[in-house]
Structures are given as C-alpha cells and as structure tokens.
C-alpha cells in the first residue's frame, strides 16, 4: 500500500471513530449541557449525505466509514435529546 493510501486510511479511521469517546463520556456523565445540539444535527445531516453519496457511487469505503460515523453521531444526538 502506498503512503498516500496509508494516510487516507488513517485519516478515515480517526475521523470515523472520533465520536466514540463522546458516546462513552456522555453515557457515564448523563449530562449534555455543554454540547451543541446544532453541531451534532449538522454533522448527522452531512454524514448522512456522505453515506448517500457513497451508496450512489457504490464506493464501499465511503459507505463503511460514514455508516459507522452516522451510527455513533445518532447515539450522541439521542443522548443530547434524552439528557437535555
């Protein structure tokens, strides 16, 4: 695998799993006052569109990365609504 692809995979991996620490923190803390509802709403919409983009282009890495991202983002958004 060439260096460019390694950088791309590392970038995709980090951005995809980045919401996981927020999910864990919010489940433990049960508080979401400091978290922006609109940030997570824009992010969910944007990642949903990336997922649609990947499906239309039949691009499996885009589908996989954004599918996992969207799941984590929707969990944070759900927790934000639950613990507001």
Question: Which residues, 6+ apart, have CB-to-CB distance to 17 below 8 Å?
Answer: 68, 72
Q: How far is the CB of 35 from its own copies (least distance, A)?
A: 5
Q: How far is the CB of 63 from its own copies (least distance, A)?
A: 13
Q: Is 4 in the site for its own copies (CB under 8 A)?
A: yes
Buried b (16+ CB within 10 A) or exposed e, 47-58: beebbeebeeee
Task: Please report, as residue ranges, which positions from 13 to 72 form the binding site for its own copies (by CB under 8 A).
Answer: 13-22, 24-26, 29, 31-40, 42-43, 45-47, 49-50, 52-53, 56-57
């Amino acid at each position: 695998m060439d260096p460019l692809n390694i950088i791309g995979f590392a970038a995709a991996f980090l951005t995809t799993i980045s919401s996981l620490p927020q999910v864990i923190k919010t489940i433990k803390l049960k508080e979401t006052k400091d978290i922006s509802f609109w940030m997570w709403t824009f992010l969910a919409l944007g990642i949903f569109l990336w997922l649609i983009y990947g499906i239309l282009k039949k691009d499996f890495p885009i589908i996989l990365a954004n599918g996992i991202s969207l799941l984590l983002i929707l969990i944070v958004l759900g927790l934000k609504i639950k613990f507001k």
